[in-house]
Amino acid sequence: MKALVLSITAGQGHNATAKAVCTYLESIGCEAEMLDTFNYVSRILGETVSRGYLITANKAKLAYKGAYRLAEKRRKSRSDASPTRATGNILSKKLLRYINAYDPDVIICTHIFAGIILDVLKEKRETDAKCIGILTDFAFHPYWEEGLNLDYVVTPNELLLAQAEKKGFTESQVLPLGIPINPKFSGSISKAEARARLGLDINKRTVLLMGGSMGYGNIEQTVESLDAVKHDFQVISVCGNNTAAKAKIDNLKTKKRILNFGYTDQVDLLMDASDCIITKPGGLTSSEAMAKGLPIVIVNPIPGQEDRNTEFLLNNGVAMSVTPTSPLDEVLFQLFSDERRIELMKQSISLIAKPNSTRDICEFAKKLCQNKSGAMNI
C-alpha cells in the first residue's frame, strides 16, 4: 500500500499528527510520504500561512477570534464561488500532478484546507485514491462541510457524531478513532520510575507545565504563580522553542523545585512523572495527556478551535479551566484538595481517551486498500 499524507504548517500539531501516521504506516510495511500541501503548491503561500498563524495566535488573538467567529456564522456553501472552494480549485491543479506522479492508494489529510483541495479532486473524479480526513481538534472546523466528498473523516471520539451529521457527513463516513499521537504515548511507566529518571523526588506530587512547541503564553509568570500555591509539589516546565522564556525561568529564585526544559523529545516521560498537566488545549497535546491518564488544567487557549476544545474537555469532565475570575492558584487548590476529584477526572478520561488512535487509523487505511470494494465498517 502507498499512502500520501497531506499536512499544512499552522502550528506544529498538524505536522506532528501527519508524522505519527507516516511513521506507523512504514512500521507495518506500507510506503508513506508526507507532503506540506501549501509549501508544495506555493512556497510563498506556505510561508504566509505559517507565519500568519503564529503572529495572529500570539499577537492578534482578537482578530483571529473574530475571523473564526465569522467562519462559524457564515452562510454554508459548497459552490465554486465560495472563497475556500475557489482557492481549492486553483491549488488542486498542481497537487494533482504530485498525486498522479506518486500514485497513492490512499490519501490522508490532517488539515481541513488540504481536505478541501482533496474534496475538489474527488468531486471532479480526478483521483480514485481513497481519501481520509483527520480532525486534530475536538470539534469540526467551520469549513469541514466542504469536505463531504472525502471517503471518511476521523473524529477524536464517538461523541462528535451528532456534529458530523450536522456538517453533512453520513454515519458510515465517520471513524471515531481519535487524534493520531506518537505510539510512545500509548504506554507508560510508573510515576516513581519516571521521577527517578528525571532526578525528581519520587514521593512528591508533580505538575507539568507545557507551553506548546512555540512556548505560547507567559510561561515564566505561570511558574511564579505555581511557586506561590500553598500545596507542596514540584514543577516540570517545558518552554518549547521559546528560548527567552526558558532563560527567565532558569534564573528565577523559587521555593519549589522547578525542572525546566526548552524543546524536548521526552514529553512522554514527563507526563509519566506528573499528576496533572497545565497546558493550552491543543488537540494533540490534550490527546497525549489523556492517553497517559493525566487531568488537564487549561490555560491560554488560542481563540477559535481551542475555545471549542475547552468546551469539549470541560463538558466531559477531564479538565479544569483557568480564567480571569478563576486563577491558577485557586484551580490547583481545588484540584489537589481532594484526591477523589483527580480519580473522578481519570475515570472520565478513560471514557474518551484513544491511546491507540494511530494504530487503529493506519490499520483501517491498510485494510481499506486491501478491500477491493473500498467499503468498510468499523
Enumerate the domain spans of the chain.
2-183+356-370, 187-352
Per-residue pLDDT reduced to its tens digit, 18-46: 999 999 999 999 999 999 998 888 777 76
Classified as helix, coil or strand, 242 is coil
Per-residue pLDDT reduced to its tens digit, 169-186: 999 999 999 999 999 999
Beta strand spans in the chain (E): 2-7, 31-36, 106-109, 130-134, 152-154, 174-175, 206-210, 234-238, 258-261, 276-279, 296-298, 319-321
Query: Higher model confidence: residue 90 or residue 124?
Result: 124
Whether the per-residue pLDDT at 256 is higher than 90: the answer is yes
Per-residue pLDDT reduced to its tens digit, 45-102: 767 766 666 556 666 566 666 766 777 776 665 555 677 888 888 889 999 999 999 9
Measure the CA–CA gap between 99 and 22, rounded to whole angstroms. Answer: 16
Is 169:148 a contact under the CB 8 Å cutoff?
yes
Alpha helices in 208-266 (DSSP H): 219-228, 243-250
Helix or strand run (H / E) with residue 308:
helix 305-315
Whether the per-residue pLDDT at 373 is higher than 60: the answer is no
- Average pLDDT (271-284) is 96
Measure the CA–CA gap between 226 and 207, rounded to whole angstroms. Answer: 9
pLDDT band at 11 (very low <50, low <70, confident <90, very high): low
- Average pLDDT (264-274) is 97
Query: What angle (nearest 5°) sits at the alpha carbon of residue 312, between those of residues 72 and 164?
Result: 55
Beta strand spans in 239-326 (E): 258-261, 276-279, 296-298, 319-321
Whether the per-residue pLDDT at 306 is higher than 70: the answer is yes
Whether the per-residue pLDDT at 300 is higher than 90: the answer is no
Q: Which CATH superfamily is 2-183+356-370 part of?
A: Glycogen Phosphorylase B; (3.40.50.2000)
Measure the CA–CA gap between 41 and 295, rounded to whole angstroms. Answer: 40
Q: Which CATH superfamily is 187-352 part of?
A: Glycogen Phosphorylase B; (3.40.50.2000)
pLDDT for position 118: 96
Whether the per-residue pLDDT at 261 is higher than 90: the answer is yes
Per-residue pLDDT reduced to its tens digit, 191-246: 999 999 999 999 999 999 997 655 456 888 899 999 989 889 999 999 988 889 99
* Ramachandran area for residue 142 (φ above 0: left; ψ -120 to 50: alpha; else beta): alpha
Same CATH topology for 2-183+356-370 and 187-352: the answer is: yes
